[in-house]
């Protein structure tokens, strides 16, 4: 499934991260092209995401939804994947420096360790 994730990230699409907020799910979005994938981890540049950061301090389980209409899926063109993972936001990891050189607005990096992956479309 890692190959499918890498392939999807090569095409533009919305990359959504959902966490368990206090009274309602909380969601943040970025673009597939902003995300990097390495060693079964996803790395997302963080500009704002203050609420998400606070939520992750108490509950770090997240659901990630990615997709693109450019690749073949289960029923024709268009593929979607749901990822279950554990997320943390860092400023002191190697990936932060790499993101900072690409995006001047980056204040941190969200690292998502992939636990489970399901193809949805």
pLDDT reported for residue 64: 98
pLDDT reported for residue 1: 82
pLDDT reported for residue 7: 96
Tens of pLDDT, residue by residue over 5-63, are 999 999 999 999 999 998 899 999 999 999 999 999 999 999 999 999 999 999 999 99
Which candidate, 9, 5, 51, 48, places its Cα nearest to that of 31? 9
CATH architecture of 1-119: Roll (2.30)
Contact call for residues 52 and 18 (beta carbons, < 8 A): no
Q: Concatenate the DSSP letters of all residues of 95-111 into one string.
A: HHHHHHHH-TT--EEEE
Average pLDDT over residues 79-88: 98
pLDDT reported for residue 110: 98
Average pLDDT over residues 78-94: 96
Domain boundaries, the chain: 1-119
Average pLDDT over residues 94-121: 96
Binned at pLDDT 50, 70 and 90, residue 101 comes out as: very high
């Amino acid at each position: 499934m890692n190959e499918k994730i890498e392939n999807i990230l090569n095409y533009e699409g919305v990359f959504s991260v959902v966490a368990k907020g206090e009274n309602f799910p909380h969601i943040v979005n970025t673009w597939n092209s902003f995300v990097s994938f390495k060693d079964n981890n996803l790395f997302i540049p963080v500009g704002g995401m203050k609420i998400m950061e606070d939520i992750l301090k108490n509950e770090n389980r997240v659901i990630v939804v990615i997709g693109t209409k450019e690749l073949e899926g289960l029923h024709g063109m268009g593929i979607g994947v749901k990822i279950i993972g554990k997320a943390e936001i860092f400023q002191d990891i190697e990936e932060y420096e790499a993101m900072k050189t690409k995006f001047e607005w980056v204040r941190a990096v969200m690292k998502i360790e992939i636990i489970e992956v399901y193809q949805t479309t």
